[in-house]
Amino acid sequence: MGRGLRVAFFTMVLLGCGDDRPPRPVPVAFVNQTRHSDAALWAIWQAAQQNLAQKIDLNPVQPNVSPRILPGDSRALAVSPVQLTVAAELDVPSQELLSATGVERPDPTGMIPCPQPCDVRYATAYSRYQPEVTRYAASWESTESDFRTILEYEFENQILFALGYDTRWR
């Protein structure tokens, strides 16, 4: 057997050797980097599931268009977070916000930079889906009702993405 053929043969043998155990499932959970408990995040997640099981608004932030409201999707009740990182990000300073957008807000601004492909430069929160991440302006964490509303919306986005919906205008 030629050297190249032997190398190929042994490579195939080594690739065939492996662990016969089934792969470990990825834990269903949050990577909680908030000041709130996991139980609080689960309660917000479940509220997002319930909302989407009743109705879906696919374009709440799309300008100058009619709302695109769909019937609820009961599959939302079965979607769970898989290592979803939930974390605060420092608010953008008011001077930076003003010079970048012309929007004047006192500190804390309640806004954070929203990375591409966001349609806006700054937002109160945003989500990414691969890996699963939800970030929000740190100043919202101390206002319980606002924190809950912001995370509930972002968790809805995570659930809709997992179900295959277009989340571009959410």
Produce one character per residue of 103-118: b if its CB has 16 or more CB atoms within 10 Å, e if not. Answer: eebeebbbbbbbeeee
pLDDT tens digits, one per residue of 141-168 = 999 999 999 999 999 999 999 999 999 9
Q: Residue 134 pLDDT more than 60? A: yes
Instruction: Report yes or no on 66 lying in a domain.
Output: yes
Report the pLDDT value the prediction gives residue 156, as an integer from 0 to 100: 98
pLDDT digits (tens, 9 = 90+) for 55-70: 999 999 889 999 999 9
Strand, coil or helix: 5 = helix
Asked whether residue 72 is assigned to any structural domain, the reply reads yes
- Domain range enclosing 137: 26-162
In this prediction, residue 91 carries a pLDDT of 98
What confidence tier does 117 reach under pLDDT thresholds 50, 70, 90? confident
pLDDT digits 0-9 by tens, 19-29: 566 666 667 89
Question: Does residue 16 fall inside a structural domain?
Answer: no
Mean of pLDDT values over 117-121: 88
* Any domain includes 80: yes
pLDDT greater than 60 at residue 1 = no
| Alpha carbon of residue 36 to chain centroid | 17
Instruction: List all residues 6 or more positions away from 126 whose beta carbon is below 8 Å from its beta carbon.
Output: 112, 114, 115, 118, 134, 135, 154
Rounded Cα gap, residues 110 and 53, in angstroms? 29
How many independent structural domains does the chain possess? 1
- Once rounded to an integer, what is the mean pLDDT over residues 86-108? 97
7 occurs within a structural domain: no
Asked whether 52 and 156 are in contact (CB, 8 A), the reply is: yes
Answer for the pair 72, 54: CB distance below 8 angstroms, yes or no: yes
Cα separations (Å) of 13 from 1, 4, 7, 8, 20? 16, 14, 10, 9, 15
Asked whether residue 17 is domain-assigned, the answer is: no
Is 79 a domain residue? yes
ω into residue 108 within 30 of 0, thus cis? yes
Distance separating alpha carbons of residues 6 and 1, to the nearest angstrom:
6
User: Mean pLDDT for the chain?
Assistant: 89
Q: Report yes or no on 126 lying in a domain.
A: yes
Residue 128 corresponds to which amino acid? Answer: R
The pLDDT assigned to 13 comes to 43
| Secondary structure (3-state) at 100 | helix
Which one, of 47, 78, 55, 54, lies nearest residue 162 by Cα? Answer: 78
